[in-house]
Amino acid sequence: MIMEEERIDDGLDLAFEVFESENNITEEQLELVKRDKQLRNDLQAIHDIKAGMKHGGEDLHVEQRLRAFNVSHGMGNDAMTEEMNCEDSSRTRGSHSFIKYITVAAAAAAVLAFFLLKHGEPEAAPAGRVFTADATSREISIITNDNQEISLPVKSDVDEPVSIDDYRKLLASDAITDRITVNVPYGKTSAVVLPDSSMVYLRPGSRVSFPTSFTQTERVVRIEGQAYFKVKHDNRRPFIVLTQLAQTTVLGTEFDVNAWDGKDTEVSLVNGSVAVKALKSGDHLRLSPGQQAVVSADAVRVADIDPTPYQYWSEGYLYYENEELRTIMEDIGKNFNMTVDFQNEKAMSLRMRFITERDKGIDVVVNRMNKMKKVTVTVDAGRIIVN
């Protein structure tokens, strides 16, 4: 019983921490409430406890609500009954926990009200939505060892890559960091010069993490999202790209790694040679130019592909060859950080070839898409609509 109470108190301490934030509730806390349906239900349950205390029959309603709350947290229906049947000292301890529950009820009600006032009930995405824009306005940034995030200054030449020297200029003179993450929000792209002079071209919504100085035996980077690599040849130090599912090892070559969260990792080789290994199953293979490895949790499979679109992307183009329109429009949405809705869902599976410059703006992209006379694309209030 004592261990059970300690576990309950741990949860209450966390609730008190949120309560003490008052109106300074962090975006992370709000995002957690927004994403976690069970958490919203729990907050509502605690809120109901407070409401019950304001009306008649407090004891019965509060006990019922607390039992429901205990069950929702895996504590069992008889948690309250056992506590009420204890000796006097146990009752005192139980009363202390009960008071804490009621205090947290007020806190939870405040958190819930603040969340609903600021965000409203989370809305389900429309059936035809393939991408939802990031409403926060952000710049390309670096994240250091201690999770300090610093925005990179906007360069006059958008094609000018950022390098390790740019990162060091942003850090305090006494700052000590041995690893850097470059974070590229939706609507932005960035070319990154690594410590060995290799190049990484990051797509919107992607990030790459690497040491400020590679070791004498290997060069290891980690990516989330999608990036195109131009690796400087070095026989002594293999270049290794890690994703959640795969490890790609090269000496010097050009290739694309597509590793969006929740999807298989795709490694597409433009030239040279790479070895791809599935981290979970241990399956591995070697690619030749024009081949793509698709790595899932339990296997690696290979397919022949046209590497041209990947190469063109690093040169400033949006290039698609026989791709589904759904994939094309999702990518365009990421590139311009604009929500994309299909009002004609049948058009999602339409395959087509499309090419345009990335930096010409959304109006040019839409005009060129419409000239193909396969679909009608419009822009309304920052949203791309496909009919």
pLDDT in tens, 255-287: 999 999 999 999 999 999 999 999 999 999 999
Q: What is the DSSP letter of 179?
A: E
pLDDT in tens, 330-365: 999 999 999 999 999 899 999 999 999 988 899 999
Does the pLDDT of residue 106 top 60, yes or no? no
- H or E element in which residue 271 lies: strand 265-271
Going by pLDDT thresholds of 50, 70 and 90, the confidence category of residue 96 is very low
How large is the average pLDDT for residues 166-178?
Answer: 68
- With beta carbons less than 8 A apart as the criterion, state whether 169 and 163 touch: no
pLDDT confidence of residue 35? 59
pLDDT confidence of residue 257? 98
Sheet holding 383-386, edge to edge: 129-131, 339-342, 383-386, 377-380
pLDDT in tens, 128-139: 999 999 988 688
- With beta carbons less than 8 A apart as the criterion, state whether 138 and 190 touch: no
- With beta carbons less than 8 A apart as the criterion, state whether 314 and 228 touch: yes
DSSP, residue by residue, 143-176: E-TT--EEEPPPPSSTTPPB-HHHHHHHS-TT--
Going by pLDDT thresholds of 50, 70 and 90, the confidence category of residue 20 is very low
Going by pLDDT thresholds of 50, 70 and 90, the confidence category of residue 22 is very low
- With beta carbons less than 8 A apart as the criterion, state whether 359 and 316 touch: yes
Kindly report the average pLDDT of the chain as a whole number: 77
Does the pLDDT of residue 153 top 90, yes or no? no
pLDDT confidence of residue 124? 67
How large is the average pLDDT for residues 200-205?
Answer: 96
C-alpha 310/C-alpha 65 separation (Å) is 57
pLDDT confidence of residue 244? 95
Does the pLDDT of residue 377 top 90, yes or no? yes
Does the pLDDT of residue 32 top 80, yes or no? no
pTM beyond 0.75: the answer is: no
How large is the average pLDDT for residues 356-380?
Answer: 94
Does the pLDDT of residue 84 top 80, yes or no? no
- Which are the contacts of 144, defined by CB distance < 8 A and separation ≥ 6? 150, 171, 175, 177, 179, 180
pLDDT confidence of residue 154? 65
Longest dimension (CA), the chain: 82
pLDDT confidence of residue 227? 97
Q: What is the DSSP letter of 359?
A: G
